[in-house]
Structure 1
């Protein structure tokens, strides 16, 4: 099914997809919470030596893929740890088996499992592009607290079944803003430059290290705004839908653009415009020279 050529799923199919997303996210969360070895070690690194992958990342993704394929064998899958496959249905599951790996590695109780189903605008079997895909359903599960955020396209967002009203409109100087940082020295230097200018303009900044939970915190009203450069599709697929269905504007750096690896910005409409103007002026996509 292609979003450009075929009607989007109706309410019953969306409910079925969301039920599956929640069930598999909870199953992976239970695995992460109960099977974490005491001597958890780094299995490999990704973008830099500080960007770790653990054995539990890959175990969680393997479980997600097995459960999804058991019920939806014709769907595609895009996973963080290399679990990618094309499908023939037009639906692709975008999964982050362990969002917040560094927190998990250190034993910090802030991490999540993120599962979303999307349709793209290209031929079935092609990897969907977050700039053009349509997110159908999303689930972000926090295994430590047990909280579960869910959303379906046009159906609103919920936390443990209770509807979410989204972030409040506040002026920039009273906004609690979430953000995150990349892993290469050049990217971090550029982000530090932006943070140094943003921090005096806002109430305060928060950095949890889990993009999916940041977007859900925004949807719940625990943050007023969120921005980050460098998110991968699995980092924001479910959380962005939760935030948008709760009433937030979720966009790229330029007004009207879609969130992508380049940039993700989310807040209530007036605040997203105000913070967006500040960020654009700071040129947050500029990369600092290598030391």
Structure 2
């Protein structure tokens, strides 16, 4: 089984496991704040992926949101987000997924995402045309920020400070704004042209890389930029990405 097939199978199985566990009722624990949650399903889905990777790719490193940090010898690392959008998952909303990425020392190689609510599996990478259940995506259509639907997120404590000011400069330039609660599912919508650009600060690798791989495979751009003392991640239509970065760093 090649890496793409393995990745697709892993996120599918992890997502289905989490979905089954949710249907039986599940408790959540708070991590950093009331919107940052973890459940037994997060941990079980990560364990499922890790056990399979240790068997199928024993020389690769593994890095997971729920604490896995296995050092391999191949120079490749699998980055796991077993449940992205855990608040939505716990609340009974459907905008959540299981995701992972494979990277080497130089770049991300591929991303895979399973959205249990629609039973859809996405795979793609910078050199791999993205697909949804095997159907290729159309290329991302470039557009300006003023023509774009921006998907984003900002914790309320930041709205009244310089981070909020940078956020406002960026968001005010968009045609419309959505906050949907799963960065990776937002990235799938961007990669398919349903949304157009995403931006958020302090994005960890498991929240960035699966979606970034697929957006880049669809012809989109991804960038990181420092503004207001934070590092921001921006991805989507290339012109909109450049304009978001300019707005964030404007004085």
> TM above 0.5, one fold?
yes
Which residue number in structure 2 is paired with residue 272 of structure 1?
241
Q: 2:214 aligns with which of 235, 242, 258?
A: 242
* Distance change in 2, residues 1:152/1:248 (3 Å): closer
1:166 Cα shift?
Answer: 3.7
Equivalence map 1:1-291=2 (5 Å): 16-42=2-28, 44-120=29-105, 133-182=106-155, 186-187=157-158, 189-190=160-161, 192-253=164-225, 262-281=231-250
1:35 Cα shift?
Answer: 2.1
1:195 Cα shift?
Answer: 4.2
Check conservation: 1:140, 1:149, Cα contact below 8 A.
Answer: yes
The CA distance in 2 between the partners of 1:169 and 1:134, in whole Å, is 23
The CA distance in 2 between the partners of 1:205 and 1:153, in whole Å, is 27
Q: How many residues align?
A: 247
Tell me the alpha carbon deviations over residues 79-111 of structure 1, each in whole angstroms, 9 at most, x when there is no partner.
000011100122111000000000001111110
- Aligned-residue Cα RMSD (Å) equals 2.0
The CA distance in 2 between the partners of 1:107 and 1:154, in whole Å, is 35
Provide the TM-score with structure 2 as the length reference.
0.90
Tell me the alpha carbon deviations over residues 89-139 of structure 1, each in whole angstroms, 9 at most, x when there is no partner.
22111000000000001111110111111112xxxxxxxxxxxx4111210
1:48 Cα shift?
Answer: 2.6
* Distance change in 2, residues 1:232/1:188 (3 Å): farther
Structure 2 alignment gaps of length 5 or more: none
SS in 1 for 2:225: coil
Higher relative strand content: 2
The CA distance in 2 between the partners of 1:162 and 1:200, in whole Å, is 35
SS in 1 for 2:99: strand
1:187 Cα shift?
Answer: 4.0
Structure 1 alignment gaps of length 5 or more: 1-14, 121-132, 255-260, 283-291
SS in 2 for 1:158: strand
SS in 2 for 1:68: helix
1:193 Cα shift?
Answer: 3.6
